[in-house]
Structure formats: C-alpha cells, structure tokens
Amino acid sequence: MFLNKYPKEVKQILSKYPLEHKRSAVMPLLYLAQREEGYITKSAMQDIAKMLDITETEVASIVGFYTLYHDEKAGKYHMQVCTDLPCALRGADEFLQNLCGNLGIKVGETTPDGLVTLEGVMCLAACDKAPMFQTQGPDGIKYHENMTVDRTMELIEALRKSNS
C-alpha cells in the first residue's frame, strides 16, 4: 500500500481537511502517489479511494482529467504541447508534427532512451505565446513559450546531457 510508505505526509495532507470533507484531499494524495514512480498506479488509486470513502472511478476520473496526473509509466520528462484552438491558429499542430518527425516518435510515445514523452494537451494559459509547451520532470514544471522546433531539440539535448 503506497500510503503506508508515506505515513507522515498522508497524515499532514489529511489534517488540512475536516473529516466530513476528507474527499478534498484527493488531489494532494494523488500528487504524493505520483512522486515516486512518475505515475499513479491502479493500486494507489484504490488506496486513495478507500481512504477517502469515494469510488475508484471518481479517483480515476480526476487522474484522467488533469494533465498533471499520469496513469502510465512514461519518460522522465513529459513534454506537453498545447494544441488547443488559439495555439493551433499559431501553428501548434505543425510544430508538434515536426517535433514528432525530429524525435522519430508519435504523439503519446516516448523517446527510445526514456527521456521524453511527447503529448498534445489542452489550454495551458499561454495562448498568445504558441507554439508553447510545458515540461514536467524531476525539476518540476517549466513553461517554454514562443518555441521553434530547433530550440526545442536543443532543450531536449540539454536535458539528455544533464541526465546522462
């Protein structure tokens, strides 16, 4: 049970919510569950559901809705390109396709070295700065705006070097 691994953190999270609203702790608990492996396992979702007296489906729907949660093992970095309409009007789709071509992977796939998983996501609130993406990795979440494919490939190369 993942929750047994972090008793102090779990207690601290739950202490922030009144007992009758403990379900509100679902997001910080999911974040905690994701910390170790970079994704949330099915058994962690079951643990959280049981702990908060909610259904596994409710927990899974939250994981599925938010781009910051992942339910599958992926690369060390999630590179999430916004392809929502305003960004699409500024060339986001073409940017993403060119990036796929350069990396030799499709959207949703991970580079063979396990470094980057490329994803298309909805609005990241930088609509006038497309093409843009966020990276989620061990160093947190970082925004990259007004990007080109060349600059993105340089960024990936720098990540590769710093992680080798």
Site string for ligand FES, 49-68 (x = CB under 6 A): --------------------
The verdict on 125 binding ligand FES (CB under 6 A) reads yes
Interactions with ligand FES, residue window 73-102 (CB under 6 A)? 82, 84, 86-87
Q: Are 110 and 74 in contact (CB under 8 A)?
A: yes
Minimum CB distance to ligand FES smaller for 63 or for 124: 124
The verdict on 130 binding ligand FES (CB under 6 A) reads yes
Q: Choose, by CB under 6 A, the member of 29, 32, 44, 124 that binds ligand FES.
A: 124
Using a 10 angstrom Cβ sphere, with 0-12 exposed, 13-18 middle and 19 or more buried, the burial of residue 23 is: middle
The verdict on 121 binding ligand FES (CB under 6 A) reads no
Residue 139's nearest CA partner among 9, 38, 67, 26 is: 38
Give the separation between CA 16 and CA 26, rounded to whole angstroms: 12
The 3-class secondary structure across 93-109, one letter per residue, is: HHHHHHHHHHHCCCCCC
Minimum CB distance to ligand FES smaller for 71 or for 84: 84
Strand intervals (E) in the chain: 77-82, 116-121, 133-137, 140-144
Scanning 73-148, the segments in alpha helix (DSSP H) are 85-89, 92-103
Minimum CB distance to ligand FES smaller for 44 or for 130: 130
Min CB(67)–ligand FES separation in Å: 12
Minimum CB distance to ligand FES smaller for 50 or for 144: 144
Binding site for ligand FES (CB under 6 A): 82, 84, 86-87, 123-127, 130, 132
